[in-house]
Amino acid sequence: MPAIQDFIGQIPIDQLAGKLGTDRQTALAAVHAALPSLLAGMQANASSPEGANALRSAIAQHDGSLLEGGVDLDQVDEQDGEKIVGHVLGGNRTALESQLNGATPEGFDLGGLVRKALPLLAPLVMSFLAKSGGRESAEAGGTDLGSLLGGLLGGPSPAAGGQSPAAGGPEGIDLGGILGSLFGRK
């Protein structure tokens, strides 16, 4: 399973920077904060049977087409992204954005950019999961979501006895601590 850096390499950061109204480096910082947050939320949801079934169902509704032939963010359904983010993060979304406000060494409002980036990135993540784990496998209920998400985050799944990785964020940001406080891990 490819790690999160491989996935980030597929995202057109320059196009994202244009959509976010910022420079490339800041857009990349937003991606490095948003993706681990989204994946950690999915992993937390998948830890219960109901959450795992809901995530499998959502993966089965997506395919890998958003990632084929190069990602074009203009093809991403942001309304679908908003729904995904709402289901995955729920009330933690506002807390995440608040904790990321002023989180960079320069005091930049990363939370506002993450708020804008999440609906663009969420459908890409679902497409990636459908492609990596197999949409058909998700439809059949055979996807090991803990391993799939843990592998993408670059570490073992908590269900497999491992700790969820403290996903590295932009320099100076304790993203692992932020995610731990949101999703109940230390």
**Domain range summary for the chain, segments of one domain joined by +:** 4-183
pTM for the full model?
0.77
Please tell me the predicted confidence (pLDDT) of residue 108: 65
Please tell me the predicted confidence (pLDDT) of residue 3: 74
182: which 2 tokens? Answer: 């949101």
Q: Is 69 buried (19+), middle (13-18) or exposed (0-12) by CB count in 10 A?
A: exposed
Tell me the β-bridge partners of 101: 109
23: which 2 tokens? Answer: 């420079």
Residue corresponding to tokens 């937003």:
30
- Taking residue 44's Cβ as centre, other Cβ atoms within 10 Å add up to 22
8 Å CB contact between 16 and 73? yes
- Please report which confidence band the pLDDT of residue 95 belongs to, taking 50, 70 and 90 as the band edges: confident
Please tell me the predicted confidence (pLDDT) of residue 149: 80
Least confident of 43-52, 85-94, 106-115: 106-115
Q: For 30-43, what is the mean pLDDT?
A: 90
- Please report which confidence band the pLDDT of residue 85 belongs to, taking 50, 70 and 90 as the band edges: very high
- Please report which confidence band the pLDDT of residue 22 belongs to, taking 50, 70 and 90 as the band edges: very high
Higher pLDDT, 96 or 166: 96
Higher pLDDT, 106 or 113: 113
pLDDT above 70 as % of the chain: 71
